[in-house]
Amino acid sequence: MRVMQVSMCAFTILSVQFFVQAQKPRGSHPPEEKAFSAEIKMKHPVSLSDDVLQMLRSDKDVQRRCLGQFGPGRIQPAFFVASQIHLDGHKMPDLVVTSAEDNPCLGGANIDPFWVFYWTPGGYELGLKVDAHNLDVLKTKTRRYSDIRTIRVTGTELLIAIFKFHGSHYKVWRYWKEPIKM
């Protein structure tokens, strides 16, 4: 019963995302991705810079889950997938990174790790790390940076959080639960 509820919830989320994406106009350049999901591949993946890859390799969860299987120097760029976004309107792109579909040590049932890196003149900085089913870059902004919504799914409810930028990283602004309606 619980598996069916989670499956129906995931199907509903994916259906809504597909409908929203289908309604967006197509231009000569592909639109920037604003909605990310544990179950939908990134449409416009980009390569990771060396500094971002090093931060990912240094992440405690990545080390805990991957080092035992692969050893220190063997956490590969192919374990991750990234998409460029513009959180604050600068010309330099920011990044949303998650585990690649065939990542052997990250991800789980209806949840993936997401990292949001923002550009600074000194290079990329980690602004947010969160485990979620969905991560959405919102139109609203705080301190010039786009707000971010995440959704986690359990067997009976959705756990929704809004994150706002606070100078050097994102912090939870609002968090609530909604029952899964069947």
User: Whole-prediction pTM value?
Assistant: 0.81
Strand order in the sheet with 123-132: 45-46, 80-85, 94-99, 112-120, 123-132
Q: Strand, helix or coil at 102?
A: coil
Please tell me the distance from the alpha carbon of residue 63 to that of residue 72, in angstroms, as a whole number. Answer: 8
- Map out the domains of the chain as residue ranges: 2-11+32-179
Per residue in 35-48, pLDDT (tens digit) is: 999 988 899 999 99
**Per-residue pLDDT at 148:** 98
Please tell me the distance from the alpha carbon of residue 11 to that of residue 111, in angstroms, as a whole number. Answer: 14
Q: Where are the alpha helices (DSSP H) in the chain?
A: 2-23, 50-58, 60-62, 68-70
User: Alpha carbon of 163 to those of 116, 140, 147, 149, 172: distances in Å?
Assistant: 11, 11, 6, 6, 4
Residue 3 has pLDDT above 80, yes or no: no
User: Alpha carbon of 89 to those of 16, 39, 74, 86, 127: distances in Å?
Assistant: 27, 28, 35, 6, 16
Residue closest to 75 by CA, chosen among 59, 87, 94: 59
- What average pLDDT score do residues 89-109 get? 86
Per residue in 145-168, pLDDT (tens digit) is: 999 999 999 889 999 999 999 999
Please tell me the distance from the alpha carbon of residue 98 to that of residue 144, in angstroms, as a whole number. Answer: 24
Per residue in 41-75, pLDDT (tens digit) is: 899 999 999 999 999 999 998 988 887 666 656 78
Contacts of 139 (CB under 8 A, 6+ apart): 146
